[in-house]
Amino acid sequence: MARRTFLGGAAAAAAALTLGCANDDDRGDEGTGEGPATTSGAPTASAPGPDLPGDPFTLGVASGDPLADSVVLWTRLAPDPFADDGSGGMPDTPIDVVWEVARDDEFTSIRSAGVVTARPDHGHSVHVDVTGLDAGTTLHYRFRVGEWTSPVGTTATLATAGTQRLALAVVNCQWYETGAYGAYRHLLDEDIDLVVHLGDYIYEYPAIEGDRATRPAHQVRTLTDFRLRYASYKVDEHLQAAHARFPFVATWDDHEVANNYTRDLVPGAPDAGEARTIRAAAYQAWWENMPVRGGPPDTGGLRVYRDFAAGDLARFHLMDQRQYADVPPCRANPDDTMDFGDCEDRTALDRTLLGSDQERWLGGSLGRGGVTWNILASPMVVAGVDAGSDQSAYYLETWDGYPRARERLLAQMVEADNPVILSGDYHQGMALDVHRVPHDPTSEVIAPEFMAPPISSVLFSADAGARNPHLRQQVDAHGYMTVEITPEALTTRFRVLDDVNDADTAIRTRGTWTVNPGNPTMTGA
């Protein structure tokens, strides 16, 4: 599936750079190996540039999926991001793009460089998996096409054994029309290494009229629609700045396809064939727009669940809770979008949320050991939330709708060292004790769960305190959370905005929780 970095004949000078650098594992340190001595602004791509109607870098740059020796660089060419046909204003031809990675943001010391082809059938996106990098290193990168140079992005590889600190921000639920991206503006000031995105990167709903109306106006269904919708989000200056500043590690939730979809059942689709078509378009556009390793999707879908380790400090396990999920319980008609309530078959029937392959992968990943912390990135709440008033009621697409599958998950977790859940989707921030038997507060606590508040999506403000004694804090606000991980402690802070509608709003900390190795019960307030 490796589709990166094949050379285009049109950029011979840049091809020479690639031969000197791209896959050379034993080259020397900066300035001593075959690394080309290019300087900022030098006309490396001497071949005539393509005839583009304007700056193709309107959607910014991004990096993602950092490892100790590699990181993925992303951009998508779109001189006219809102062109009705979803092409971004690009010609229907492949275009060669020069990429450069340097130690310094003036690009006087190029560490690695090459040429990648932006293909029309990939939405003119590029994903460059830059390999052979040094661990724990900050790097700068940029792209060039003809006369155009992209903004400069900053990224970093992960450290190896002995890492004393890794910090992240956890974000999710960024409905563009229901709030500004002040949260992303404040993210730039955080002392973090990477951003974990738990999904709902876009919303597929019809546009809402106003300053932040997205394209297209109707509900998103086709590849053209999805490309336009991503472009509408990606032009935001604060989202672009966050991507350019930090590597992202992303999974997805439901709104990347459609509200409440599971597997190939897409509510509102007229038939199964149409549902699969919508899902395929959604997966393709997600891949085109995210700085992820692997892909593109094929007819079998796209594997998004994956794990990676930051030295011996932490291993991250990213879950996909939609692509392989059984239909949630209590739906007389499987196409029902009802997602809240209770019924007998919630507990009576076995269902899978992850699918058997992903369950097996997770067991193996959690069982590998060798790290202090096991961080589970779960788009949806694991600890359980009884959201009823007079009687119990649950959001049935979350783990509460899959209690037998959750038993299997929790059994895997108790075998792992210091599991910690990071979740989202609920449009609230929460700190929750995960009990061995959810909703039974007499059973032992086996892990802490920290749920990130939404970046901008509408809050579900109902107070869940009365029916959920394991809910340690509920944060009814927009923002994100930071998670600082050291060998001695993991500390989560809820960072909340005063006013989601104002990109210049202030941010403050509302709740700081700490957990120490060997004790899954959090302390704080």
Give me the residues that bind Ca ion (CB under 5 A), please: 200, 253-254, 425
Which window, 4-12, 168-176, 280-288, 365-373, contacts Fe ion (CB under 5 A)?
Answer: 168-176
List, in sequence order, every beta strand (DSSP E) within 29-149.
Answer: 61-64, 71-76, 95-102, 110-118, 125-130, 138-145, 148-149
By a kind-dependent CB cut-off of 5 to 8 A, residue 129 interacts, out of Ca ion, Fe ion, none, with none
* Residue 313 binding partner per list Ca ion, Fe ion, none, with a CB distance cut-off of 5 to 8 Å that depends on partner kind: none
- Least CB distance from residue 212 to Fe ion, whole Å? 16
- Look at the alpha carbons of 104, 107, 112, 113 in this order and tell me if their dihedral is positive or negative: positive
User: What residues pair up with 429 in beta bridges, in sequence order?
Assistant: 475
Min dist. Cβ of residue 253 to Ca ion (A): 4
Contact 338, 331 (CB under 8 A): yes
Query: Nearer to Fe ion by C-beta: 117 or 260?
Result: 260
The region of 199-207, 438-446, 461-469, 485-493 touching Fe ion under the rule CB under 5 A is 199-207
Of the two residues 82 and 460, which places its CB atom closer to Ca ion in the complex?
460
Task: Using CB atoms within 10 Å of the CB of residue 313, give its burial: 0 to 12 exposed, 13 to 18 middle, 19+ buried.
Answer: buried
400 makes contact, choosing from Ca ion, Fe ion, none, with CB < 5 to 8 Å by partner type, with none
Q: How are beta strands 125-130 and 445-451 bridged, if at all?
A: unpaired
Question: Which residue, among 62, 58, 39, has the nearest Cα to 154 in the 3D structure?
Answer: 62
Instruction: Give min distance, CB of 270 to Fe ion, in A.
Output: 25
Separation of alpha carbons 460 and 339, rounded Å: 14
| Selection from 418, 490, 482, 425 nearest residue 454 by Cα | 425
Nearest to 397 by CA among 512, 257, 260, 515: 260
Please choose which of Fe ion, Ca ion, none residue 457 contacts, taking the beta carbon within 5 to 8 angstroms, the exact cut-off set by kind.
Fe ion
Q: Of the ranges 52-60, 195-203, 231-239, 348-356, which one interacts with Fe ion (CB under 5 A)?
A: 195-203
In total, the chain counts a number of residues equal to 525
Touching Fe ion, residues 400-459 (CB under 5 A): 457
Cβ closest to Ca ion, residue 190 vs residue 200: 200
Return the number of the residue (229 or 293) whose C-beta is nearest Fe ion: 229
How many Cβ atoms sit within 10 Å of the Cβ of residue 519? 11
Using CB under 5 A as the criterion, what x/- string covers residues 128-167 for binding Fe ion? ----------------------------------------
Cα–Cα distance, 477 to 14 (Å, whole number): 48
**Measured from the CB of residue 236, what is the shortest distance to Fe ion in angstroms?**
17
First to last CA, the chain: 47
Select 410 or 500, whichever has its Cβ closest to Fe ion.
500
> Contact with Fe ion (CB under 5 A): which of 98, 116, 126, 173?
173
Binding to Fe ion (CB under 5 A) within 200-229 occurs at 200
User: What residues have CB less than 8 Å from 26, skipping those under 6 apart?
Assistant: none
For residue 82, count CB atoms less than 10 angstroms from its CB and return exposed for 0-12, middle for 13-18, buried for 19 or more.
middle
**Least Cβ distance, residue 247 to Ca ion (angstroms):** 23
The least distance separating Fe ion from the CB of residue 254, rounded to whole angstroms, comes to 8
CB-nearer residue toward Ca ion: 156 or 459: 459
Applying CB under 5 A, what is the total number of residues that bind Fe ion? Answer: 3
The nearest distance, CB 206 to Fe ion, in angstroms, is 16
Rounded Cα–Cα distance for residues 348 and 328 (Å): 12
In angstroms, what is the minimal distance from the CB of 379 to Ca ion?
A: 7
Q: How far is the CB of 204 from Fe ion (least distance, A)?
A: 11
Which residues contribute to the site for Fe ion (CB under 5 A)?
173, 200, 457
